Amino acid sequence: MSRYLNFSITVLIFSIVCSFSYANQPYSDYKQMMNEVKDLAIDNNNIYYIKDYTLMKDAGSFSLDSGVIFFLKPINKKVRFAVFIGSGTFNFVPPTKVESDQLNRLLKTKQIMTNFSSMAFFFADSTFDELQQIGTKIISDKINNATKVFNQFLYVTLSKNKEYLTSTISKPLLDDCDSISFYSYIETNKYGELAYGVDPFEPEEITLETVEWKAGIASYPETICQFHLSSSYEPGNDLFHSTDQIDIEKYKISTTIISTLTSGLLFQADATISLKILDNKVQWLPFYLIHDLKIKSATINNQQITFYKPEDGSTLWIKLPKFYQTNDSLYLNLEYSGKIISRVGDYVFLKTSIGWYPTYGYKALAYFDLSFTVPDNYEFVSVGDLVEEKELDGTKYSHWTTSYKIRNASFNLGPYDIHKVRPKDMQPIDVLYVTSEQHEKVAEDIQLSMEFYTKLFGAIPPKRFYVTELPAYHGEAFPGMLHLSTVTFENGEDNGSEEMFCAHEVGHQWWGIAVDFKTYHDQWLSEGFSEYSSMMYMQMALNDNKKFFNFLQKYKEELLNTRKSFFGNGIEPGPISLGYRNNASITGGDYYLITYNKGAWVLHMLRNMFLDLNTMKEDVFLGILKEFYQENRLKSVSTRDFQKKIESKVNLDFSWFFEQWVDNYKIPKYGFASKTEKTADGKFKVKCKVLQTEVPATFRMFVPIKVVLDDDRIVRLRVFITGEKAEFDLPLLPEEPKKIVFNDLESVLCEVDYIDWD
């Protein structure tokens, strides 16, 4: 859940989404709520004939043209569920172009208008009273049909093992809180099974999903569109409002990791979470804790409390013992344990890097006070500053604290060797490794990239830096610590990929950690920035221009050719601003392709757009990055913040650039032709023609042209291309050019064909 408004506005928001009276009766037990939902039946006394009525639920509306509403029996003394059977129409119009384009990509339509003959839905508002007033009470012989529709609804909203409900339903039921919460399941004529929901406690409140059925999984909802309430897009409103009901100030976690003869390593933790109440109506709080960890006890201010954590789920539901006042401070203590660490040979495997402690909300920041006791045959490191370390009775004890709030905390341990690097004027670096083949090369890339980024952007907050080998195929970055794949410790390839892999993860200390991204729409500010930083490290620090352009070309080919085949083109990839949602079931791999690779390309285009073609100096672009980092250190930023930084630096409107390259996917194709004529005074005039395709005619871009003269002398200039066809003359030249290069220095992500003039 996001947290982007001050407290006074948060209170205003919750006064809108969650009305409340102390007569409400929150559930005291999650399983009781679950069992009551699963046992719900049609209420024979609440069946109504409905005609020409429209249920308006923000961006979605349900026109109930003619049919019967079957209300289910009350749950906790309130009617919350209903089934409609008859003739209806579902209308859905996304409020933004990005979401409209996403709908078109996946369902081939800009808006939905489709018929349905049945619908089951949950509501937490006055829908029951409204439908009662306009309906005509009847007796129906289709109760069995309605029951089947509701059972299908339960299959969609329940987990595979039927141990928990989607939080859109369970949260308002548990709190017994009237709100705008809504969830519906409909079988449409045109688009198959759809689910549409409104959840005021989610960072983006509106969700449209398709419902697929997978063997062994039951229902598999997949997000098509996701966005804020429509009112959020009105002028003057802030999209980054908070939906959190508590604020976590600090974690104090004491962890013990024990070697056992039969089960490897046992993880035990005692966590005290200091939190503040933001909403005096809250009773149940959802935390994330990996499903392998089991809760032994839970208390608030030393008072035993009710909790629920299903066997097959990672949501831990905590019930507050009473209603607290806004700004009340509480201490939540949890004792838990489980098998989340295993050892195979010399390698220790972490099942989770951040799911080992309870987290709440979206990208929450907190202080951490961490202590660990581990077997003394392991080396151990954590995020934070090491404040104490000692050995006793076959164990090692260490105590770590953070001096500023961070988003993610992690640790690592193993039978490591340690390679120590002590750079002058920079943080000490410890590289903890098992695989020794390339550990010195890894340490060198870590040191050189840290020195390069420090000089390029500025210093990072951590006082010390740890790099740990991770037996996996990926890397992860945390404040002052990296997990690096075993592959990079053993791979001796010379194509530059391992150097860039190390430098990418180091880059996250600047982009993604010190300067964080606000929402998943802005995640390219972490991944794309780190990727391009690693490319600049390859080019500028390692002085390897060839590898730099090899990777640039490789990424371009992947972006241009994704899902192209002999059978035609597949579904078009989405824009950068779609973030992780680019990884839909039919667009697998697109998150990395778009967020990392295209994100890096966007920075490259900006870099070359601001390049001084006369001196080849890069002061403007590098200055933008350095100032953007230093002005936003230990803050969260959006794409719009980066755009505004550019505009303030160059005093030009750059909205067109971000609309084209971040909020859309289209990549231009240019057909370039030129012809040279000798003038009467002995000079040479070069006429140029550019045909622009694959993008709208309004697409525009500055494209560099390189003219090569005798003795390899070079003239560079930049031209502005827009429209389907552009013709222009180059400045008069003193001699006939040997070669003309359109899109010099790979400055624009595009295809270029050199074509004949006629």
How many of the other CB atoms lie within 10 Å of CB of 1? 16
Confidence of residue 372 (pLDDT cuts 50, 70, 90): very high
Query: What's the rounded mean pLDDT across residues 708-718?
Result: 94
Whole-angstrom Cα distance, residue 598 to residue 528?
7
Written as one string, the DSSP assignment of 34-75 is: HHHHHT--EEEEEEEEEEEEEEEETTEEEEEEEEEEEEEPPB
Confidence of residue 14 (pLDDT cuts 50, 70, 90): very low
More confident residue, 445 or 2: 445
CB 138 within 8 A of CB 97: no
* Residue 587 pLDDT: 82
Give this prediction's pTM: 0.93
* Residue 11 pLDDT: 34
| High-pLDDT (> 90) share of the chain, % | 87
User: Sign of dihedral through CA atoms 183, 187, 189, 195?
Assistant: positive
Q: Is the pLDDT of residue 448 over 50?
A: yes
* pLDDT tens digit sequence for 499-557: 999 999 999 999 999 999 999 999 999 999 999 999 999 999 999 999 999 999 999 99
* Residue 326 pLDDT: 97
* Residue 263 pLDDT: 62
* pLDDT tens digit sequence for 162-184: 899 999 999 999 999 899 999 99
Whole-angstrom Cα distance, residue 609 to residue 747?
7
* Residue 569 pLDDT: 65
Confidence of residue 276 (pLDDT cuts 50, 70, 90): very high
Whole-angstrom Cα distance, residue 559 to residue 553?
10
* Residue 637 pLDDT: 97
CB 513 within 8 A of CB 634: no
Tell me the CATH number for domain 244-415.
2.60.40.1730
* pLDDT tens digit sequence for 563-618: 675 455 678 899 999 999 998 888 878 999 999 999 999 999 999 999 999 999 99
CB 92 within 8 A of CB 224: no
* Residue 568 pLDDT: 55
* Residue 6 pLDDT: 32
How many of the other CB atoms lie within 10 Å of CB of 737? 17
Q: Where are the alpha helices (DSSP H) in 588-709?
A: 590-591, 599-609, 619-631, 639-650, 655-661
Q: Is the pLDDT of residue 99 over 90?
A: yes
Q: For residue 681, what are the contacts with CB-CB under 8 A and spacing of at least 6?
A: none
* pLDDT tens digit sequence for 216-263: 555 577 899 999 999 999 887 777 778 899 999 999 999 999 998 766
* Residue 9 pLDDT: 32
Nearest to 480 by CA among 565, 423, 417, 406: 406
* Residue 8 pLDDT: 32
Tokens (6 digits) for 662: 């971040």
* pLDDT tens digit sequence for 124-171: 999 999 999 999 999 999 999 999 999 999 999 998 888 999 999 999
Whole-angstrom Cα distance, residue 694 to residue 747?
18
Q: Do domains 244-415 and 669-754 have the same CATH topology?
A: yes
Domain boundaries, the chain: 7-233, 244-415, 532-661, 669-754
CB 68 within 8 A of CB 138: yes
Query: What's the rounded mean pLDDT across residues 339-352?
Result: 93
Confidence of residue 464 (pLDDT cuts 50, 70, 90): very high
* pLDDT tens digit sequence for 290-324: 999 999 999 999 999 999 999 889 999 999 999 99
Return the CATH fold of 669-754.
Immunoglobulin-like (2.60.40)
Confidence of residue 365 (pLDDT cuts 50, 70, 90): very high
Continuous segment of H or E residues that includes residue 386 = strand 385-392
**Number of alpha helices (DSSP H) and beta strands (DSSP E) in the chain:** 16, 41
CB 462 within 8 A of CB 389: no
* pLDDT tens digit sequence for 605-621: 999 999 999 999 999 99
